[in-house]
Amino acid sequence: MSVVSMKALLESGVHFGHRTQKWHPAMKPYIFTERNGIHIIDLQKTSKAIQQAYNLVRDTVAEGGTVLFIGTKRQAQETVQAEAIRCGMPYVTVRWLGGMLTNWRTIRQRINELEKLERMRDKGEFGRLTKKEALVLHRKIERLEILLGGVRQMVRLPELVFVVDVHREATAIHEANLLNIPVIAMVDTNCDPTHVDYVIPSNDDAIRAIKLVVSKIADAAIEGKALRKELPEEGLVSLPTIEEEELSDEELLGEATLAKISGRIKAPLDEAVFGEPDEDVYDIDWGTEDDEEEERLRARASREDEDFEDLDEDEE
List, for residues 168-185, the tens digit of each pLDDT value: 999 999 999 999 999 999
**Strands 91-92 and 38-41: what pairing?**
unpaired
Q: Do residues 86 and 161 both lie within one domain?
A: yes
pLDDT of 172 reads: 96
Which strands form 67-70's sheet, in the order they lie side by side? 91-92, 67-70, 160-163, 183-187, 198-201
Is 113 or 255 the better-scoring residue by pLDDT? 113
Structural domain includes residue 232: no
pLDDT of 253 reads: 40
Burial, 109: exposed, middle or buried (Cβ in 10 Å; 0-12, 13-18, 19+)? buried
Structural domain includes residue 40: yes
- With residue 108 as reference, give the H or E element that holds it: helix 104-122
Structural domain includes residue 180: yes
CA proximity to 26, closest of 161, 172, 167: 167
Structural domain includes residue 244: no
211, 79 contact by CB (below 8 A): yes
- With residue 38 as reference, give the H or E element that holds it: strand 38-41
Q: Do residues 84 and 181 both lie within one domain?
A: yes
Q: Do residues 79 and 170 both lie within one domain?
A: yes
Q: Do residues 48 and 164 both lie within one domain?
A: yes
Q: Do residues 262 and 300 both lie within one domain?
A: yes
Structural domain includes residue 279: yes
Q: What does the mean pLDDT of the chain come to?
A: 79
Domain count, the chain: 2
Question: Which CATH number covers residue 197?
Answer: 3.40.50.10490
Q: Do residues 87 and 169 both lie within one domain?
A: yes
Structural domain includes residue 311: no
Q: Which of 25-39, 223-237, 301-315 has the highest mean pLDDT?
A: 25-39
Q: Do residues 24 and 92 both lie within one domain?
A: yes
Taking only the tens place, the pLDDT of each residue in 141-154 is 999 999 999 999 89
Structural domain includes residue 233: no
Taking only the tens place, the pLDDT of each residue in 234-292 is 444 433 343 444 544 444 444 444 444 444 434 343 333 333 434 433 344 434 334 45
Q: Do residues 79 and 173 both lie within one domain?
A: yes
Structural domain includes residue 4: no
Q: Which domain holds residue 143?
A: 104-150+250-306
pLDDT above 90 (res 231): no
Q: Do residues 84 and 36 both lie within one domain?
A: yes
Q: Do residues 221 and 203 both lie within one domain?
A: yes
Q: Do residues 95 and 217 both lie within one domain?
A: yes
